[in-house]
């Protein structure tokens, strides 16, 4: 069964609105979660690393004021796309590594959120 | 140069064929290696980890060559259900880097 959930699975919004996407680890705690974005026919691009209890780490070229990340608890990270524009339309996927024996085990992915900005 | 590069594809093969994908990585400090499978409009799912000694899971065989910095995936007796995009993933320093993926289509 799924070990990482995302909500919503898809969203359509008007340009200028903000969209919040939730990522939850279901049966394990994740001090770190990753947010990716994937455009059609392209690979996953890491946007940021979400850290529980501290600020997220953003990849080069990703605007932190536009993509707000909050890792509120050990099982929840949220990504808010602020003032979304059509070019932000994409497939957003979160992932969380499950730690076993002090070493990152498997990286589990959420089912993704398909964002369409009109 | 990209950190992780994969065969460009697409690969179109008949059922029962054997197909191999290669992936090269540039960071010699990379620590772990994986193959993921991604179906259209879905999230990636772990297919198998890749070890230096090579590992096999049914029809799938993965190998790692650290000296040459490449990993491979071999699929034998391919099935229609193997049609997907296969992503090479290299992890190091707490971060995973994905290749662009190789698309496989298995035809009857």
Reduced to 3 states, what is the DSSP secondary structure of residue B94?
coil
**Mutate: best of B39, B40, B44, B86, partner A, most A CBs <10 A:** B44
- Rounded to 5°, the CA angle B63-B69-B75 comes to 30
Report yes or no: B41 and A114 within 8 Å, Cβ to Cβ. Answer: yes
For residue A44, list chain B residues with Cβ-Cβ distance below 8 A.
44, 87, 98
Start-to-end C-alpha separation, chain A: 34
Task: Answer yes or no: is pLDDT of A103 > 70.
Answer: no
Q: A64 to each of A82, A100, B11, how far by Cα in Å?
A: 10, 31, 38
Is B91 in contact with A107 (Cβ distance < 8 A)? yes
Q: According to the model, what pLDDT value does residue B58 have?
A: 95
At which residue do the structure tokens 């369409």 appear?
A116
| Neighbouring-strand partners of residue A95 | A34, A109
* Min distance B52 CA to chain A CA atoms (Å): 17
Q: According to the model, what pLDDT value does residue A89 have?
A: 96
The average confidence (pLDDT) of chain A is 90
pLDDT digits (tens, 9 = 90+) for B14-35: 999 999 999 999 998 888 899 9
Q: B82 to each of A86, B15, B66, B93, how far by Cα in Å?
A: 33, 9, 27, 31
B43, B87, B97 ranked by CB distance to A111: nearest: B43
Percent of chain B whose pLDDT exceeds 70: 100
């Amino acid at each position: 069964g799924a070990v990482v959930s995302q909500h919503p699975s898809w969203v359509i919004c008007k340009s200028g609105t903000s969209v919040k996407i939730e990522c939850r680890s279901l049966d394990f705690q994740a001090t770190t979660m990753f947010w990716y974005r994937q455009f059609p026919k392209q690979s996953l691009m890491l946007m940021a690393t979400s850290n529980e209890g501290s600020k997220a780490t953003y990849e080069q070229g990703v605007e932190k004021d536009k993509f707000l990340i909050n890792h509120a608890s050990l099982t929840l990270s949220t990504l808010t796309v602020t003032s979304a524009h059509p070019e932000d339309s994409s497939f957003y996927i979160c992932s969380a590594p499950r730690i076993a024996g002090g070493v990152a085990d498997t990286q589990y992915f959420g089912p993704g959120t398909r964002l369409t900005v009109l | 140069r990209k950190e992780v590069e994969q065969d460009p594809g697409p690969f179109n093969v008949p059922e029962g064929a054997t197909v191999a994908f290669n992936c090269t990585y540039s960071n010699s400090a990379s620590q772990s290696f994986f193959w993921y499978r991604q179906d259209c409009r879905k999230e990636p799912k772990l297919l198998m980890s890749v070890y230096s000694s090579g590992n096999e899971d049914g029809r799938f065989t993965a190998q790692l060559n650290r000296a040459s910095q490449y990993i491979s995936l071999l699929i034998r007796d391919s099935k229609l259900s193997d049609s997907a995009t296969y992503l090479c993933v290299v992890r190091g320093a707490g971060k995973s880097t994905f290749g662009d993926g190789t698309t496989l289509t298995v035809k009857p």
